[in-house]
Chains A and B, each alone.
Chain A
């Protein structure tokens, strides 16, 4: 079979999988779905690998009904994202088998869930490959809707329902923008083919169309202020879904932006600089909020926003590099963006899987109720620790590699003669350093509060380590992460090679100096680990030969310490929250003790942090909109007679219209 047939086979396999899934006995449904996911992944990865090898797929489906000629391309950029989607979906599916066992009574709900998971994977793959505006939008919509149903698995919960509706509405705002953008291109060029966008850019001003597309893709990716669906949808979804959503669905937005950015013909500097500013702001805002939240899945969702900012900064550097005729800068920027896309998909799914295991065992997402889980779930704690180190960009893991590239990019960018660009680069450098610092705070906090210390509250039942099928994908991810962290030069070479294919050759320079630098990073990270051995060995030798004893934690002389007196996550990040109180508003709900209240009664104190943009921007917009809509409520009044009347009026209009040739 050639590659085209392979890809078309996935189309049928997905439909077949969805049908078969609903017919199978519920016990083997998850496994069957996983097999379909695996087959689809293999079938699409083969052409993807071919494309990376320099043989892109480029076919046009002639004369399809309604859409006309649909171009279908797998170039290097698509291939990169297809591979990332496949790897994450395989891990998500495998983890999901174990994770969903807890819900095995909800048979029909599970059947829908797994069918949607299949559709979800395929639609993401098609989004990467279809290059016809309308077909793309159909795949895009399928992706949004299937993920919506995945998010709303626990639909009986009110907050899940709310998060789902929020997600659906925001995704459709994005679709409207994308549709408008594609129609604009169609009106001006007469084609829905993506290549028409390129020729549109050649003749018209680039900024406005890019902005329209950026609005659509940016909502998916989660750039501020378009991010507000993320922190609601991710916690509501089952963990394997959040892992895949956070790992790859937001990357589809990045894919769209990258696709557009590669086609730009003009205004590189303006677009690049604005994108860089927005991205650094997104990164700072995301990680700052992540540091404040006590719902650990919401914390990870905000952290996704931060990482989108980092990826966006890479794309911004790429565009600035093109605008200032600095091919080294554009290569570094694009490499950082693409590599960070891969890295983030790895450690974010790892983190979501590990906290998913915690949620499954403890049934709470509130980290303040946890503590000391490292004793009960040591392997899960290890996964979370690895993810936390990687996301903080610390060596010897993979996050460091892409952040390092970004730092080199910023330093390279200061070399321009343009005063403004130099300053922008230096401020972005400082911004990235602050992002790194806050993420250290956020993740020491969450790891410390969830896994270390002693349990803050008695749990309903004793947590235990999760089964092997849930740990296996996490080991796999850790292995890949370590491989990237310790041997970054090979991955760098792949990405640079990919760029050579995606961007037409003269734009890219061979960044040979990066190659040796990357090799050095890997080598020295390895040396770090090796150096650790003798020190630790010495310590252990010492430990064996000297007396050691185990007693309670030093309580500074206090003799009756208890678990509730441990430092909480809230207090850990409180100082930072107060410092930046204008961005992270804290809402408190309590009653002061009145002077005449001599024996105060028991009272409650509630405090939580709110999202600045959601509260002060989006709600300000939606509230009047909702109020305005109230005036039209009489139309939807629930009386059948009126609805029949609407039908009659509509038909009458149609009749008159055709009679008098209005239409």
Chain B
């Protein structure tokens, strides 16, 4: 329960910090921390414009996407306290529930019959497919190290093993930050600020969404960021009192948001053709973690 509350709290200001970082770096004052949240609230209160080509798929997709992210968030633990959902192998459920949401967001883009949205849908499907093995190898390696297969047990056991696991945690943080960037279609894979539909990924997919539906899609991005931030935070929250854990959690979230902001300010978007190679490289970073785990367990001959 506490993890759900913390992630929801973090999601409120996450995008705000990212925006603020970007504007400060580029020498502007920038909007307030809560501006993205206000934008979402404004969207939720607005009327909707539909494309005449769409069917019921388009109507249900935004809700399914939002709920899938919410469901995934419930699985993420907070330090030593479990998430609302926790069972053996829940990381598989986590990935697949997110995939379910993605499935619907992709077909809702196809539902509009627009060539631009189809293009975005195709890219989204490809990139998330390429990022999938990185996440699974990462979680599989930690499952192997700790002998557990649920997020909560993995993180709990991780902190009672040696300190080398923190080194692995750093590598895992890198992979997870990148996975979060890909999943949310941010730099260096995609630039949400671009104004050319041809080069967009996620933004072009939701081009025909408006009002409540768009609000759900937009807020889901914040939730997803906070969710990955929470997973990263779990690598560093050890067996500490709750107020300290909350502090670490918030620090990690803020740091994560600042990193995202800095990444978006100082990197340029890759060429589309290079994205696939880059994303797949993450899997090799995950494999490094796997070999690290093998080393730790003394399985190398």
A contact residues vs B (CB 8 Å cutoff): 371-372, 374-375, 378, 385, 388-389, 392-395, 400, 403-404, 407-408, 410-411, 414-415, 417-419, 422-423, 426, 429-434, 436-438, 440-441, 443-445, 447-449, 452-454, 513, 516-517, 520-521, 524, 527-528, 531-532, 535-536, 538-539, 542-543, 546-556, 561, 563, 565-568, 571-576, 579
B301 touches A440 (CB 8 A): no
A542 touches B117 (CB 8 A): no
Q: Does B250 contact A (CB under 8 A)?
A: no
* Smallest CB separation, B130 vs chain A (Å): 7
Q: Which of B173-181, B208-216, B258-266 contacts A (4 or more CB under 8 A)?
A: B208-216
Q: What secondary structure prevails in chain A residues at the interface with B? A: helix
**Known contacts A553-B114, A566-B114, A575-B122: A414-B100 contact under CB 8 Å:** no
A553 touches B53 (CB 8 A): yes
| Neighbouring B residues of A445 by C-beta, 8 Å | 122, 125
* Smallest CB separation, B177 vs chain A (Å): 19
Most chain A beta carbons < 10 A, residue from B52, B149, B212: B212
* Smallest CB separation, A55 vs chain B (Å): 34
Whole-angstrom distance between the alpha carbons of A288 and B127 in the complex?
Answer: 15
Whole-angstrom distance between the alpha carbons of A371 and B55 in the complex?
Answer: 12
A532 touches B67 (CB 8 A): yes
| Neighbouring B residues of A432 by C-beta, 8 Å | 136
Question: Which of B71, B99, B100 is close to A524, meaning CB atoms less than 8 Å apart?
Answer: B71
A531 touches B93 (CB 8 A): no
A531 touches B87 (CB 8 A): no
27 residue pairs bridging A and B, Cβ less than 8 Å apart: A374-B56, A395-B100, A404-B92, A404-B93, A404-B96, A419-B294, A422-B299, A430-B133, A430-B137, A433-B95, A433-B136, A444-B103, A520-B87, A528-B71, A532-B64, A535-B63, A535-B67, A535-B216, A542-B212, A546-B211, A547-B47, A549-B48, A553-B54, A554-B112, A554-B114, A567-B117, A574-B122
Whole-angstrom distance between the alpha carbons of A572 and B128 in the complex?
Answer: 14
B55 touches A452 (CB 8 A): yes
| Neighbouring A residues of B95 by C-beta, 8 Å | 433
**Known contacts A414-B144, A517-B87, A546-B46: A567-B55 contact under CB 8 Å:** no
Nearest B residue (CB) for A521: B93
Mask of B30-57 contacts with A, CB within 8 angstroms, 1/0: 0000000000000011111111111111
| Neighbouring A residues of B191 by C-beta, 8 Å | none
Whole-angstrom distance between the alpha carbons of A404 and B149 in the complex?
Answer: 12
B126 touches A419 (CB 8 A): no
B133 touches A371 (CB 8 A): no
A573 touches B122 (CB 8 A): yes
**Known contacts A394-B100, A535-B63, A546-B46: A452-B110 contact under CB 8 Å:** yes
Q: Does B9 contact A (CB under 8 A)?
A: no
Q: Does B102 contact A (CB under 8 A)?
A: yes
Mask of B115-131 contacts with A, CB within 8 angstroms, 1/0: 11111011101101110
Q: Does B239 contact A (CB under 8 A)?
A: no
B111 touches A453 (CB 8 A): yes
**Known contacts A414-B140, A452-B113: A576-B51 contact under CB 8 Å:** no
| Neighbouring B residues of A547 by C-beta, 8 Å | 47
B55 touches A536 (CB 8 A): no
Whole-angstrom distance between the alpha carbons of A111 and B244 in the complex?
Answer: 78
Which parts of B260-298 form the interface with A (CB within 8 Å)?
276, 283, 287, 290, 294
Whole-angstrom distance between the alpha carbons of A574 and B126 in the complex?
Answer: 10
| Neighbouring B residues of A552 by C-beta, 8 Å | 51-53
Question: Which of B44, B48, B63, B276 is close to A548, meaning CB atoms less than 8 Å apart?
Answer: B48
Question: Which of B88, B118, B216, B276 is close to A572, meaning CB atoms less than 8 Å apart?
Answer: B118
Whole-angstrom distance between the alpha carbons of A524 and B107 in the complex?
Answer: 24
In the A-B complex, the 7 residue pairs with the closest CB atoms: A567-B118, A437-B129, A448-B110, A453-B113, A546-B47, A430-B133, A520-B87
Additional A-B contact list (13), CB under 8 Å, known A408-B89, A433-B136: A371-B113, A389-B100, A415-B144, A415-B147, A430-B283, A437-B132, A438-B129, A448-B111, A448-B121, A453-B118, A454-B113, A552-B52, A555-B114
Whole-angstrom distance between the alpha carbons of A556 and B203 in the complex?
Answer: 13
Nearest B residue (CB) for A548: B48
A422 touches B144 (CB 8 A): yes
| Neighbouring B residues of A565 by C-beta, 8 Å | 115
A389 touches B85 (CB 8 A): no
B93 touches A553 (CB 8 A): no
Whole-angstrom distance between the alpha carbons of A426 and B117 in the complex?
Answer: 35
Whole-angstrom distance between the alpha carbons of A536 and B213 in the complex?
Answer: 10
| Neighbouring A residues of B96 by C-beta, 8 Å | 393-395, 400, 403-404, 436
B99 touches A392 (CB 8 A): yes
B283 touches A576 (CB 8 A): no
| Neighbouring B residues of A524 by C-beta, 8 Å | 71, 85, 93
B89 touches A404 (CB 8 A): yes
Whole-angstrom distance between the alpha carbons of A36 and B115 in the complex?
Answer: 50
Which parts of B176-215 form the interface with A (CB within 8 Å)?
197, 207-208, 211-213
Whole-angstrom distance between the alpha carbons of A420 and B276 in the complex?
Answer: 28
Q: What secondary structure prevails in chain B residues at the interface with A? A: helix
**Known contacts A394-B99, A417-B299, A444-B103: A549-B50 contact under CB 8 Å:** yes
Q: Does B18 contact A (CB under 8 A)?
A: no
Nearest B residue (CB) for A394: B100
Most chain B beta carbons < 10 A, residue from A411, A563, A571, A573: A411
Whole-angstrom distance between the alpha carbons of A232 and B72 in the complex?
Answer: 41
A389 touches B53 (CB 8 A): no
| Neighbouring B residues of A548 by C-beta, 8 Å | 47-50, 211
Whole-angstrom distance between the alpha carbons of A67 and B5 in the complex?
Answer: 72
* Smallest CB separation, B197 vs chain A (Å): 5
Whole-angstrom distance between the alpha carbons of A426 and B45 in the complex?
Answer: 47
Whole-angstrom distance between the alpha carbons of A532 and B121 in the complex?
Answer: 23
| Neighbouring A residues of B56 by C-beta, 8 Å | 374, 378
B140 touches A389 (CB 8 A): no
* Smallest CB separation, A396 vs chain B (Å): 8
| Neighbouring A residues of B294 by C-beta, 8 Å | 419, 422-423
B129 touches A441 (CB 8 A): yes
Question: Which of A388, A408, A521 is close to B149, meaning CB atoms less than 8 Å apart?
Answer: A408
Q: Does B228 contact A (CB under 8 A)?
A: no
| Neighbouring A residues of B115 by C-beta, 8 Å | 565-567
Nearest B residue (CB) for A412: B149
Q: Does B14 contact A (CB under 8 A)?
A: no
Question: Which of A394, A407, A549, A567 is close to B103, meaning CB atoms less than 8 Å apart?
Answer: A394
Nearest A residue (CB) for B197: A556
* Smallest CB separation, B230 vs chain A (Å): 19
Whole-angstrom distance between the alpha carbons of A76 and B141 in the complex?
Answer: 36
Q: Does B158 contact A (CB under 8 A)?
A: no
Whole-angstrom distance between the alpha carbons of A410 and B133 in the complex?
Answer: 13
Mask of B142-154 contacts with A, CB within 8 angstroms, 1/0: 0110010100000
Whole-angstrom distance between the alpha carbons of A461 and B174 in the complex?
Answer: 56
Whole-angstrom distance between the alpha carbons of A375 and B136 in the complex?
Answer: 38
Q: Does B62 contact A (CB under 8 A)?
A: yes
A554 touches B208 (CB 8 A): yes
Question: Which of B60, B93, B118, B140 is close to A566, meaning CB atoms less than 8 Å apart?
Answer: B118
**Known contacts A436-B99, A444-B121: A419-B301 contact under CB 8 Å:** yes
